[in-house]
Structure 1
Protein backbone atom coordinates (compact mmCIF):
# COMPACT_ATOMS: atom_id res chain seq x y z
CA UNK A 1 0.00 0.00 0.00
CA UNK A 2 1.36 3.40 -1.02
CA UNK A 3 1.71 5.79 1.91
CA UNK A 4 0.85 9.45 1.34
CA UNK A 5 1.57 11.91 4.12
CA UNK A 6 -0.79 14.85 4.49
CA UNK A 7 0.73 18.06 5.82
CA UNK A 8 -1.34 21.25 5.94
CA UNK A 9 -3.58 20.04 3.14
CA UNK A 10 -0.69 18.98 0.88
CA UNK A 11 0.10 15.39 -0.09
CA UNK A 12 3.67 14.07 -0.03
CA UNK A 13 5.28 10.72 -0.82
CA UNK A 14 8.63 10.21 0.93
CA UNK A 15 9.42 6.61 0.04
CA UNK A 16 11.39 6.12 -3.19
CA UNK A 17 9.77 2.78 -4.00
CA UNK A 18 6.28 4.27 -3.61
CA UNK A 19 7.16 7.27 -5.79
CA UNK A 20 8.45 4.94 -8.49
CA UNK A 21 5.35 2.72 -8.34
CA UNK A 22 3.09 5.74 -8.62
CA UNK A 23 4.70 6.78 -11.90
CA UNK A 24 5.51 3.43 -13.51
CA UNK A 25 2.45 1.40 -12.50
CA UNK A 26 -0.28 3.99 -11.97
CA UNK A 27 0.69 6.77 -14.43
CA UNK A 28 0.65 9.47 -11.74
CA UNK A 29 3.46 12.00 -12.16
CA UNK A 30 3.40 14.45 -9.24
CA UNK A 31 6.19 16.98 -8.66
CA UNK A 32 9.52 16.49 -6.93
CA UNK A 33 10.01 19.32 -4.44
CA UNK A 34 12.96 18.21 -2.27
CA UNK A 35 16.58 19.35 -2.45
CA UNK A 36 19.37 17.01 -3.51
CA UNK A 37 21.68 16.03 -0.68
CA UNK A 38 24.85 16.91 -2.61
CA UNK A 39 23.51 20.15 -4.13
CA UNK A 40 20.97 21.59 -1.71
CA UNK A 41 21.20 25.17 -3.01
CA UNK A 42 20.23 24.51 -6.62
CA UNK A 43 16.68 24.09 -7.94
CA UNK A 44 17.29 22.76 -11.45
CA UNK A 45 16.98 19.13 -10.38
CA UNK A 46 14.94 18.23 -7.33
CA UNK A 47 14.42 15.06 -5.32
CA UNK A 48 12.10 13.53 -2.75
CA UNK A 49 9.54 14.15 -1.43
CA UNK A 50 7.09 13.81 -4.31
CA UNK A 51 4.21 16.24 -3.96
CA UNK A 52 0.88 15.13 -5.40
CA UNK A 53 -2.05 17.21 -6.53
CA UNK A 54 -5.17 16.77 -4.38
CA UNK A 55 -6.78 15.08 -7.38
CA UNK A 56 -3.85 12.66 -7.73
CA UNK A 57 -3.88 11.75 -4.05
CA UNK A 58 -7.65 11.27 -3.97
CA UNK A 59 -7.61 9.11 -7.09
CA UNK A 60 -5.05 6.76 -5.56
CA UNK A 61 -7.08 6.60 -2.34
CA UNK A 62 -10.34 6.00 -4.22
CA UNK A 63 -8.81 3.10 -6.14
CA UNK A 64 -7.55 1.53 -2.92
CA UNK A 65 -3.94 1.98 -4.01
CA UNK A 66 -2.87 4.36 -1.26
CA UNK A 67 -3.64 5.43 2.27
CA UNK A 68 -3.54 9.02 3.51
CA UNK A 69 -2.05 9.62 6.94
CA UNK A 70 -0.69 12.37 9.13
CA UNK A 71 2.00 12.26 11.79
CA UNK A 72 0.96 13.34 15.24
CA UNK A 73 3.45 14.91 17.63
CA UNK A 74 4.84 12.44 20.14
CA UNK A 75 5.45 15.23 22.64
CA UNK A 76 3.82 18.66 23.01
CA UNK A 77 5.78 21.47 21.42
CA UNK A 78 8.35 22.89 23.82
CA UNK A 79 8.24 19.95 26.23
CA UNK A 80 11.62 18.89 27.61
CA UNK A 81 12.29 15.25 26.69
CA UNK A 82 15.83 15.09 28.03
CA UNK A 83 14.69 13.10 31.06
CA UNK A 84 12.64 10.64 29.04
CA UNK A 85 14.28 7.17 29.31
CA UNK A 86 13.07 6.13 25.86
CA UNK A 87 14.53 9.31 24.35
CA UNK A 88 17.90 8.66 26.05
CA UNK A 89 17.98 5.12 24.68
CA UNK A 90 17.27 6.39 21.17
CA UNK A 91 20.09 8.95 21.42
CA UNK A 92 22.50 6.30 22.67
CA UNK A 93 21.53 3.91 19.87
CA UNK A 94 21.98 6.70 17.30
CA UNK A 95 25.45 7.57 18.59
CA UNK A 96 26.44 3.91 18.66
CA UNK A 97 25.33 3.54 15.04
CA UNK A 98 27.38 6.60 14.05
CA UNK A 99 30.49 5.19 15.73
CA UNK A 100 30.07 1.79 14.03
CA UNK A 101 29.57 3.54 10.70
CA UNK A 102 32.72 5.63 11.24
CA UNK A 103 34.84 2.58 12.12
CA UNK A 104 33.62 0.76 9.01
CA UNK A 105 34.42 3.72 6.76
CA UNK A 106 37.84 4.09 8.41
CA UNK A 107 38.66 0.45 7.70
CA UNK A 108 37.51 0.64 4.07
CA UNK A 109 39.38 3.91 3.46
CA UNK A 110 42.60 2.48 4.93
CA UNK A 111 42.32 -0.63 2.75
CA UNK A 112 41.74 1.44 -0.36
CA UNK A 113 44.71 3.71 0.42
CA UNK A 114 46.96 0.70 1.04
CA UNK A 115 45.98 -0.76 -2.34
CA UNK A 116 46.88 2.50 -4.07
CA UNK A 117 50.22 2.70 -2.28
CA UNK A 118 51.05 -0.91 -3.17
CA UNK A 119 50.54 0.02 -6.81
CA UNK A 120 52.65 3.20 -6.68
CA UNK A 121 55.33 2.15 -4.15
CA UNK A 122 57.98 1.12 -6.66
CA UNK A 123 57.44 4.21 -8.82
CA UNK A 124 57.74 6.50 -5.79
CA UNK A 125 60.88 4.70 -4.60
CA UNK A 126 62.49 4.91 -8.06
CA UNK A 127 61.78 8.62 -8.23
CA UNK A 128 63.32 9.29 -4.84
CA UNK A 129 66.37 7.15 -5.66
CA UNK A 130 66.89 9.06 -8.88
CA UNK A 131 66.88 12.37 -7.00
CA UNK A 132 69.42 11.05 -4.51
CA UNK A 133 71.73 9.90 -7.34
CA UNK A 134 71.52 13.33 -8.88
CA UNK A 135 72.72 14.74 -5.55
CA UNK A 136 75.51 12.13 -5.47
CA UNK A 137 73.96 10.38 -2.56
CA UNK A 138 73.72 6.68 -2.19
CA UNK A 139 70.44 5.16 -3.15
CA UNK A 140 68.50 3.67 -0.27
CA UNK A 141 66.57 0.43 -0.71
CA UNK A 142 63.05 0.76 -2.12
CA UNK A 143 60.58 2.04 0.43
CA UNK A 144 57.71 -0.10 1.58
CA UNK A 145 54.13 1.16 1.59
CA UNK A 146 54.27 1.27 5.40
CA UNK A 147 57.24 3.66 5.16
CA UNK A 148 55.43 5.87 2.69
CA UNK A 149 52.28 6.02 4.80
CA UNK A 150 53.08 5.10 8.40
CA UNK A 151 49.60 5.92 9.66
CA UNK A 152 46.23 6.81 8.22
CA UNK A 153 43.63 8.97 9.91
CA UNK A 154 40.14 9.69 8.59
CA UNK A 155 38.73 12.82 10.26
CA UNK A 156 35.36 12.04 11.76
CA UNK A 157 34.02 15.23 10.20
CA UNK A 158 34.77 13.74 6.76
CA UNK A 159 32.75 10.57 7.21
CA UNK A 160 29.77 9.97 4.95
CA UNK A 161 26.40 10.20 6.67
CA UNK A 162 23.21 8.83 5.22
CA UNK A 163 20.50 11.48 4.81
CA UNK A 164 17.16 9.72 5.11
CA UNK A 165 14.18 10.93 3.10
CA UNK A 166 11.87 8.89 5.30
CA UNK A 167 11.83 8.35 9.03
CA UNK A 168 13.53 5.08 9.94
CA UNK A 169 11.25 4.72 12.96
CA UNK A 170 7.88 6.38 12.25
CA UNK A 171 6.20 8.03 15.22
CA UNK A 172 2.53 8.13 16.03
CA UNK A 173 0.38 8.23 12.90
CA UNK A 174 -3.29 8.79 12.21
CA UNK A 175 -5.19 7.96 9.03
CA UNK A 176 -6.81 10.85 7.17
CA UNK A 177 -10.22 10.29 5.59
CA UNK A 178 -10.24 11.76 2.08
CA UNK A 179 -14.07 11.73 1.78
CA UNK A 180 -14.66 13.78 4.94
CA UNK A 181 -13.72 17.50 5.10
CA UNK A 182 -11.25 18.27 7.86
CA UNK A 183 -8.44 20.65 8.69
CA UNK A 184 -5.96 18.22 7.15
CA UNK A 185 -8.05 17.49 4.03
CA UNK A 186 -10.37 20.47 3.37
CA UNK A 187 -11.19 19.56 -0.23
CA UNK A 188 -13.89 16.95 0.35
CA UNK A 189 -17.33 18.18 -0.69
CA UNK A 190 -16.09 21.31 -2.46
CA UNK A 191 -17.84 21.66 -5.82
CA UNK A 192 -14.77 22.80 -7.76
CA UNK A 193 -12.62 20.03 -6.28
CA UNK A 194 -15.18 17.32 -7.04
CA UNK A 195 -15.47 18.57 -10.63
CA UNK A 196 -11.70 18.55 -11.08
CA UNK A 197 -11.47 15.06 -9.56
CA UNK A 198 -14.12 13.75 -11.95
CA UNK A 199 -12.33 15.19 -14.98
CA UNK A 200 -8.92 14.03 -13.76
CA UNK A 201 -10.27 10.51 -13.16
CA UNK A 202 -11.90 10.34 -16.61
CA UNK A 203 -8.74 11.43 -18.43
CA UNK A 204 -6.61 9.06 -16.33
CA UNK A 205 -8.91 6.11 -17.08
CA UNK A 206 -8.51 6.80 -20.80
CA UNK A 207 -4.76 6.23 -20.43
CA UNK A 208 -3.57 9.83 -20.39
CA UNK A 209 -0.92 11.22 -18.07
CA UNK A 210 -2.32 14.30 -16.32
CA UNK A 211 -0.24 16.92 -14.52
CA UNK A 212 -0.76 20.44 -13.21
CA UNK A 213 -1.38 22.96 -15.97
CA UNK A 214 -0.60 26.12 -14.03
CA UNK A 215 2.47 26.96 -16.12
CA UNK A 216 0.23 27.26 -19.22
CA UNK A 217 -2.68 28.96 -17.48
CA UNK A 218 -4.85 25.83 -17.29
CA UNK A 219 -5.97 23.35 -14.66
CA UNK A 220 -4.29 20.29 -16.17
CA UNK A 221 -1.86 19.33 -18.91
CA UNK A 222 -2.81 16.13 -20.70
CA UNK A 223 -0.08 13.90 -22.17
CA UNK A 224 -0.48 10.86 -24.46
CA UNK A 225 2.35 9.14 -22.57
CA UNK A 226 4.97 9.74 -19.93
CA UNK A 227 5.89 13.47 -19.85
CA UNK A 228 9.57 12.47 -20.00
CA UNK A 229 8.94 11.22 -23.55
CA UNK A 230 6.00 13.26 -24.88
CA UNK A 231 4.81 16.84 -25.05
CA UNK A 232 1.33 17.65 -23.77
CA UNK A 233 -1.40 17.56 -26.39
CA UNK A 234 -4.10 19.34 -24.41
CA UNK A 235 -4.55 22.15 -21.90
CA UNK A 236 -7.58 21.32 -19.77
CA UNK A 237 -9.67 24.14 -18.32
CA UNK A 238 -12.28 22.97 -15.80
CA UNK A 239 -15.46 25.04 -16.04
CA UNK A 240 -18.84 24.40 -14.34
CA UNK A 241 -21.37 23.28 -16.93
CA UNK A 242 -23.81 26.13 -16.31
CA UNK A 243 -21.12 28.81 -16.05
CA UNK A 244 -21.12 31.48 -18.73
CA UNK A 245 -17.91 32.22 -20.64
CA UNK A 246 -17.32 35.56 -22.27
CA UNK A 247 -16.09 35.76 -25.83
CA UNK A 248 -12.94 37.39 -24.51
CA UNK A 249 -12.17 34.34 -22.31
CA UNK A 250 -12.77 31.93 -25.19
CA UNK A 251 -10.48 33.88 -27.54
CA UNK A 252 -7.79 34.12 -24.84
CA UNK A 253 -7.91 30.38 -24.25
CA UNK A 254 -7.75 29.67 -27.99
CA UNK A 255 -4.79 31.97 -28.51
CA UNK A 256 -3.01 30.43 -25.55
CA UNK A 257 -3.35 26.95 -26.99
CA UNK A 258 -2.23 28.12 -30.44
CA UNK A 259 0.90 29.82 -29.14
CA UNK A 260 2.07 26.70 -27.32
CA UNK A 261 0.84 24.31 -30.05
CA UNK A 262 -1.73 22.58 -27.89
CA UNK A 263 -5.47 22.05 -28.07
CA UNK A 264 -7.55 23.68 -25.33
CA UNK A 265 -10.16 21.48 -23.67
CA UNK A 266 -13.10 23.10 -21.89
CA UNK A 267 -14.02 20.42 -19.36
CA UNK A 268 -17.28 20.16 -17.44
CA UNK A 269 -19.36 17.58 -15.58
CA UNK A 270 -22.99 17.00 -16.63
CA UNK A 271 -25.95 16.19 -14.41
CA UNK A 272 -25.19 12.46 -14.58
CA UNK A 273 -21.66 12.97 -13.29
CA UNK A 274 -20.01 12.29 -16.66
CA UNK A 275 -17.15 14.40 -17.98
CA UNK A 276 -17.95 16.53 -21.05
CA UNK A 277 -15.28 18.12 -23.27
CA UNK A 278 -15.27 20.92 -25.82
CA UNK A 279 -12.05 21.52 -27.79
CA UNK A 280 -10.84 24.88 -29.01
CA UNK A 281 -8.40 25.08 -31.93
CA UNK A 282 -7.78 27.57 -34.72
CA UNK A 283 -8.75 26.07 -38.09
CA UNK A 284 -5.41 27.04 -39.60
CA UNK A 285 -3.43 25.17 -36.94
CA UNK A 286 -2.03 21.84 -38.08
Structure 2
Protein backbone atom coordinates (compact mmCIF):
# COMPACT_ATOMS: atom_id res chain seq x y z
CA UNK A 1 0.00 0.00 0.00
CA UNK A 2 1.40 3.37 -1.06
CA UNK A 3 1.63 5.82 1.83
CA UNK A 4 0.49 9.32 0.82
CA UNK A 5 1.24 11.98 3.42
CA UNK A 6 -1.13 14.95 3.65
CA UNK A 7 0.09 18.35 4.79
CA UNK A 8 -2.18 21.40 4.60
CA UNK A 9 -4.20 19.91 1.77
CA UNK A 10 -1.18 18.81 -0.27
CA UNK A 11 -0.30 15.18 -0.97
CA UNK A 12 3.31 13.93 -0.80
CA UNK A 13 5.02 10.57 -1.32
CA UNK A 14 8.37 10.20 0.45
CA UNK A 15 9.31 6.60 -0.23
CA UNK A 16 11.55 6.21 -3.30
CA UNK A 17 10.25 2.72 -4.12
CA UNK A 18 6.67 3.99 -4.00
CA UNK A 19 7.51 6.92 -6.30
CA UNK A 20 9.01 4.54 -8.86
CA UNK A 21 6.09 2.14 -8.56
CA UNK A 22 3.56 4.96 -9.01
CA UNK A 23 5.14 6.02 -12.28
CA UNK A 24 6.05 2.66 -13.80
CA UNK A 25 2.99 0.64 -12.80
CA UNK A 26 0.20 3.20 -12.44
CA UNK A 27 1.16 6.00 -14.86
CA UNK A 28 1.05 8.67 -12.14
CA UNK A 29 3.82 11.26 -12.63
CA UNK A 30 3.48 13.93 -9.93
CA UNK A 31 6.13 16.59 -9.37
CA UNK A 32 9.39 16.30 -7.44
CA UNK A 33 9.64 19.28 -5.08
CA UNK A 34 12.52 18.44 -2.69
CA UNK A 35 16.10 19.74 -2.77
CA UNK A 36 18.96 17.39 -3.59
CA UNK A 37 21.31 16.81 -0.66
CA UNK A 38 24.44 17.45 -2.77
CA UNK A 39 23.02 20.46 -4.64
CA UNK A 40 20.56 22.22 -2.35
CA UNK A 41 20.99 25.69 -3.88
CA UNK A 42 19.50 24.97 -7.30
CA UNK A 43 16.05 24.23 -8.64
CA UNK A 44 16.84 22.61 -11.99
CA UNK A 45 16.91 19.05 -10.69
CA UNK A 46 14.78 18.25 -7.66
CA UNK A 47 14.29 15.18 -5.51
CA UNK A 48 11.93 13.66 -2.95
CA UNK A 49 9.23 14.16 -1.90
CA UNK A 50 6.92 13.70 -4.86
CA UNK A 51 3.93 16.03 -4.73
CA UNK A 52 0.73 14.64 -6.22
CA UNK A 53 -2.18 16.54 -7.67
CA UNK A 54 -5.40 16.09 -5.66
CA UNK A 55 -6.76 14.11 -8.61
CA UNK A 56 -3.71 11.83 -8.67
CA UNK A 57 -3.89 11.15 -4.94
CA UNK A 58 -7.63 10.49 -5.05
CA UNK A 59 -7.26 8.11 -7.99
CA UNK A 60 -4.69 6.02 -6.12
CA UNK A 61 -6.92 5.87 -3.05
CA UNK A 62 -10.09 5.01 -4.98
CA UNK A 63 -8.28 2.21 -6.85
CA UNK A 64 -7.15 0.76 -3.51
CA UNK A 65 -3.50 1.47 -4.27
CA UNK A 66 -2.76 4.05 -1.57
CA UNK A 67 -3.86 5.49 1.75
CA UNK A 68 -3.89 9.09 2.96
CA UNK A 69 -2.08 9.75 6.24
CA UNK A 70 -1.32 12.77 8.35
CA UNK A 71 0.91 13.20 11.38
CA UNK A 72 -0.90 13.44 14.67
CA UNK A 73 -0.57 16.64 16.68
CA UNK A 74 2.82 16.77 18.39
CA UNK A 75 2.88 17.03 22.20
CA UNK A 76 4.34 20.23 23.68
CA UNK A 77 8.12 20.33 24.04
CA UNK A 78 9.57 19.59 27.45
CA UNK A 79 13.00 19.90 28.99
CA UNK A 80 15.42 16.96 29.04
CA UNK A 81 14.25 15.87 32.48
CA UNK A 82 10.73 15.23 31.24
CA UNK A 83 11.56 13.47 27.99
CA UNK A 84 10.88 9.83 27.34
CA UNK A 85 13.96 7.71 28.21
CA UNK A 86 13.68 5.96 24.83
CA UNK A 87 13.96 9.35 23.09
CA UNK A 88 17.10 10.27 25.05
CA UNK A 89 18.55 6.87 24.18
CA UNK A 90 17.93 7.46 20.46
CA UNK A 91 19.55 10.90 20.66
CA UNK A 92 22.63 9.42 22.36
CA UNK A 93 22.83 6.68 19.70
CA UNK A 94 22.62 9.31 16.95
CA UNK A 95 25.42 11.38 18.53
CA UNK A 96 27.56 8.26 18.81
CA UNK A 97 26.93 7.45 15.16
CA UNK A 98 27.99 10.96 14.15
CA UNK A 99 31.22 10.65 16.17
CA UNK A 100 32.07 7.30 14.59
CA UNK A 101 31.34 8.73 11.15
CA UNK A 102 33.69 11.67 11.78
CA UNK A 103 36.66 9.47 12.75
CA UNK A 104 36.01 7.18 9.81
CA UNK A 105 35.99 10.13 7.40
CA UNK A 106 39.16 11.50 9.02
CA UNK A 107 40.86 8.16 8.43
CA UNK A 108 39.77 8.13 4.79
CA UNK A 109 40.94 11.73 4.31
CA UNK A 110 44.37 10.85 5.76
CA UNK A 111 44.72 7.85 3.44
CA UNK A 112 43.67 9.92 0.45
CA UNK A 113 46.25 12.57 1.36
CA UNK A 114 48.99 9.91 1.52
CA UNK A 115 48.08 8.70 -1.95
CA UNK A 116 48.23 12.24 -3.35
CA UNK A 117 51.57 12.94 -1.65
CA UNK A 118 52.99 9.68 -3.01
CA UNK A 119 51.94 10.72 -6.51
CA UNK A 120 53.54 14.17 -6.13
CA UNK A 121 56.59 12.98 -4.16
CA UNK A 122 59.10 13.79 -6.91
CA UNK A 123 57.80 17.32 -7.45
CA UNK A 124 57.73 17.97 -3.69
CA UNK A 125 61.34 16.80 -3.36
CA UNK A 126 62.44 19.08 -6.21
CA UNK A 127 60.66 22.04 -4.63
CA UNK A 128 62.28 21.40 -1.23
CA UNK A 129 65.72 21.10 -2.82
CA UNK A 130 65.22 24.39 -4.65
CA UNK A 131 64.16 26.20 -1.47
CA UNK A 132 67.11 24.70 0.47
CA UNK A 133 69.53 25.89 -2.20
CA UNK A 134 68.06 29.41 -2.15
CA UNK A 135 68.43 29.62 1.64
CA UNK A 136 72.04 28.40 1.51
CA UNK A 137 72.86 31.06 -1.07
CA UNK A 138 71.35 33.69 1.21
CA UNK A 139 73.33 32.38 4.18
CA UNK A 140 70.29 31.30 6.18
CA UNK A 141 70.27 28.05 8.08
CA UNK A 142 68.03 25.42 6.45
CA UNK A 143 64.89 24.58 8.39
CA UNK A 144 63.72 21.12 9.16
CA UNK A 145 61.25 19.91 6.52
CA UNK A 146 57.71 19.52 7.79
CA UNK A 147 56.03 16.17 7.86
CA UNK A 148 53.28 16.70 5.32
CA UNK A 149 51.51 13.44 6.09
CA UNK A 150 50.87 14.44 9.69
CA UNK A 151 49.35 17.85 8.84
CA UNK A 152 45.86 16.62 7.99
CA UNK A 153 43.21 19.17 8.95
CA UNK A 154 39.63 17.88 8.84
CA UNK A 155 37.20 20.17 10.69
CA UNK A 156 33.95 18.70 11.87
CA UNK A 157 32.03 21.24 9.80
CA UNK A 158 33.39 19.57 6.64
CA UNK A 159 32.21 16.06 7.44
CA UNK A 160 29.47 14.51 5.35
CA UNK A 161 26.19 13.89 7.16
CA UNK A 162 23.57 11.55 5.78
CA UNK A 163 20.20 13.22 5.29
CA UNK A 164 17.29 10.84 5.66
CA UNK A 165 14.43 11.16 3.16
CA UNK A 166 12.03 9.19 5.33
CA UNK A 167 11.51 9.09 9.07
CA UNK A 168 12.79 5.92 10.70
CA UNK A 169 10.06 6.11 13.32
CA UNK A 170 7.00 7.85 11.80
CA UNK A 171 5.38 8.28 15.18
CA UNK A 172 1.65 8.64 15.60
CA UNK A 173 -0.30 8.97 12.35
CA UNK A 174 -3.95 9.32 11.48
CA UNK A 175 -5.76 8.13 8.37
CA UNK A 176 -7.37 11.01 6.45
CA UNK A 177 -10.97 10.41 5.42
CA UNK A 178 -11.12 11.91 1.92
CA UNK A 179 -14.90 11.36 1.68
CA UNK A 180 -15.51 14.22 4.12
CA UNK A 181 -14.19 17.77 3.46
CA UNK A 182 -11.72 18.92 6.11
CA UNK A 183 -8.73 21.27 6.44
CA UNK A 184 -6.51 18.32 5.50
CA UNK A 185 -8.56 17.40 2.42
CA UNK A 186 -10.83 20.32 1.39
CA UNK A 187 -11.56 19.12 -2.17
CA UNK A 188 -14.47 16.75 -1.53
CA UNK A 189 -17.70 18.17 -2.91
CA UNK A 190 -16.09 21.09 -4.74
CA UNK A 191 -17.53 21.38 -8.25
CA UNK A 192 -14.21 22.27 -9.89
CA UNK A 193 -12.45 19.31 -8.27
CA UNK A 194 -15.22 16.86 -9.22
CA UNK A 195 -15.07 17.98 -12.86
CA UNK A 196 -11.28 17.81 -12.93
CA UNK A 197 -11.29 14.39 -11.30
CA UNK A 198 -13.83 12.96 -13.77
CA UNK A 199 -11.77 14.28 -16.69
CA UNK A 200 -8.49 13.06 -15.18
CA UNK A 201 -9.90 9.57 -14.53
CA UNK A 202 -11.37 9.30 -18.02
CA UNK A 203 -8.08 10.22 -19.71
CA UNK A 204 -6.07 7.97 -17.37
CA UNK A 205 -8.33 4.99 -18.07
CA UNK A 206 -7.73 5.48 -21.80
CA UNK A 207 -4.02 4.85 -21.22
CA UNK A 208 -2.73 8.42 -21.23
CA UNK A 209 -0.24 10.00 -18.84
CA UNK A 210 -1.84 13.11 -17.32
CA UNK A 211 0.10 15.87 -15.55
CA UNK A 212 -0.54 19.44 -14.44
CA UNK A 213 -1.09 21.80 -17.36
CA UNK A 214 -0.58 25.12 -15.59
CA UNK A 215 2.57 25.96 -17.56
CA UNK A 216 0.53 25.89 -20.80
CA UNK A 217 -2.54 27.67 -19.46
CA UNK A 218 -4.67 24.55 -18.99
CA UNK A 219 -5.72 22.15 -16.26
CA UNK A 220 -3.87 19.09 -17.56
CA UNK A 221 -1.28 18.05 -20.11
CA UNK A 222 -2.06 14.74 -21.82
CA UNK A 223 0.79 12.52 -23.02
CA UNK A 224 0.60 9.37 -25.18
CA UNK A 225 3.42 7.84 -23.11
CA UNK A 226 5.84 8.64 -20.33
CA UNK A 227 6.62 12.40 -20.33
CA UNK A 228 10.31 11.53 -20.21
CA UNK A 229 9.98 10.11 -23.73
CA UNK A 230 7.04 11.94 -25.33
CA UNK A 231 5.75 15.47 -25.79
CA UNK A 232 2.21 16.25 -24.72
CA UNK A 233 -0.40 15.96 -27.46
CA UNK A 234 -3.24 17.77 -25.70
CA UNK A 235 -3.86 20.66 -23.34
CA UNK A 236 -7.02 19.88 -21.35
CA UNK A 237 -9.17 22.76 -20.09
CA UNK A 238 -11.92 21.72 -17.68
CA UNK A 239 -15.15 23.73 -17.66
CA UNK A 240 -18.65 23.18 -16.32
CA UNK A 241 -21.19 22.08 -18.91
CA UNK A 242 -23.52 24.91 -17.88
CA UNK A 243 -20.79 27.55 -17.70
CA UNK A 244 -20.81 30.03 -20.63
CA UNK A 245 -17.71 29.94 -22.80
CA UNK A 246 -17.40 32.99 -25.03
CA UNK A 247 -16.19 32.97 -28.61
CA UNK A 248 -13.13 35.05 -27.66
CA UNK A 249 -12.19 32.42 -25.05
CA UNK A 250 -12.49 29.69 -27.68
CA UNK A 251 -10.26 31.63 -30.09
CA UNK A 252 -7.70 32.34 -27.35
CA UNK A 253 -7.59 28.67 -26.33
CA UNK A 254 -7.21 27.41 -29.89
CA UNK A 255 -4.46 29.92 -30.73
CA UNK A 256 -2.68 28.99 -27.49
CA UNK A 257 -2.72 25.34 -28.54
CA UNK A 258 -1.38 26.25 -31.98
CA UNK A 259 1.50 28.28 -30.51
CA UNK A 260 2.64 25.37 -28.33
CA UNK A 261 1.89 22.80 -31.09
CA UNK A 262 -0.78 20.97 -29.13
CA UNK A 263 -4.48 20.28 -29.52
CA UNK A 264 -6.76 21.95 -26.99
CA UNK A 265 -9.40 19.76 -25.32
CA UNK A 266 -12.45 21.46 -23.82
CA UNK A 267 -13.52 18.99 -21.13
CA UNK A 268 -16.79 18.86 -19.22
CA UNK A 269 -18.93 16.28 -17.44
CA UNK A 270 -22.37 15.10 -18.56
CA UNK A 271 -25.35 14.63 -16.28
CA UNK A 272 -24.54 10.93 -15.80
CA UNK A 273 -20.91 11.71 -14.83
CA UNK A 274 -19.41 10.88 -18.24
CA UNK A 275 -16.55 13.09 -19.39
CA UNK A 276 -17.17 14.88 -22.68
CA UNK A 277 -14.31 16.20 -24.86
CA UNK A 278 -14.27 18.78 -27.64
CA UNK A 279 -11.01 19.34 -29.55
CA UNK A 280 -9.97 22.72 -30.88
CA UNK A 281 -7.37 23.45 -33.58
CA UNK A 282 -6.64 26.87 -35.04
CA UNK A 283 -6.63 26.69 -38.83
CA UNK A 284 -6.40 30.40 -39.60
CA UNK A 285 -7.30 31.94 -42.96
CA UNK A 286 -6.63 29.69 -45.92
TM-score range, shorter chain: 0.7 to 0.9
Q: Per-residue deviation at 1:151?
A: 4.4
State how far apart, in whole Å, the 2-side matches of 1:35 and 1:253 are. Answer: 35
State how far apart, in whole Å, the 2-side matches of 1:164 and 1:21 are. Answer: 20
TM-score scaled to structure 1, two decimals?
0.87
Aligned match of 1:80: 78
Residue 21 (structure 2) pairs with residue 21 (structure 1): yes
State how far apart, in whole Å, the 2-side matches of 1:150 and 1:219 are. Answer: 63
**Structure 1 stretch displaced more, 187-196 or 201-210:** 187-196
State how far apart, in whole Å, the 1-side matches of 2:18 and 2:229 are. Answer: 21
Quick check: 2:221–2:235 contact (8 Å CA) kept in 1? yes
TM-score scaled to structure 2, two decimals?
0.87
* 1:103–1:158 distance in 2 versus 1, CA, 3 Å: same
Quick check: 1:69–1:173 contact (8 Å CA) kept in 2? yes
Post-superposition CA distance 1:210-245 (Å, at most 9, x none): 111112221111111222222211111112223332
In the alignment, structure 1 segments of 5+ residues that lack a partner are none
Aligned match of 1:171: 171
Q: CA RMSD in A?
A: 2.4
Q: Per-residue deviation at 1:191?
A: 2.7
Quick check: 2:113–2:149 contact (8 Å CA) kept in 1? no
Post-superposition CA distance 1:104-144 (Å, at most 9, x none): 1112222222222233334423443455467779xx9xx9x
Aligned match of 2:95: 95
Aligned match of 2:112: 112
Post-superposition CA distance 1:184-216 (Å, at most 9, x none): 111123232122111111111212111111122
Quick check: 2:70–2:174 contact (8 Å CA) kept in 1? yes
Residue 251 (structure 2) pairs with residue 251 (structure 1): yes
Quick check: 2:257–2:281 contact (8 Å CA) kept in 1? yes
Aligned match of 1:71: 71
State how far apart, in whole Å, the 1-side matches of 2:241 and 2:277 are. Answer: 10
In the alignment, structure 2 segments of 5+ residues that lack a partner are none
Residue 262 (structure 2) pairs with residue 262 (structure 1): yes
Quick check: 2:11–2:57 contact (8 Å CA) kept in 1? yes
Quick check: 1:74–1:171 contact (8 Å CA) kept in 2? no
Aligned match of 2:200: 200
**Structure 1 stretch displaced more, 120-129 or 250-259:** 120-129
Matches within 5 A, 1:221-260: 221-260=221-260
Q: Per-residue deviation at 1:160?
A: 0.5
**Structure 1 stretch displaced more, 20-29 or 205-214:** 20-29
State how far apart, in whole Å, the 1-side matches of 2:282 and 2:248 are. Answer: 15
Aligned match of 1:157: 157
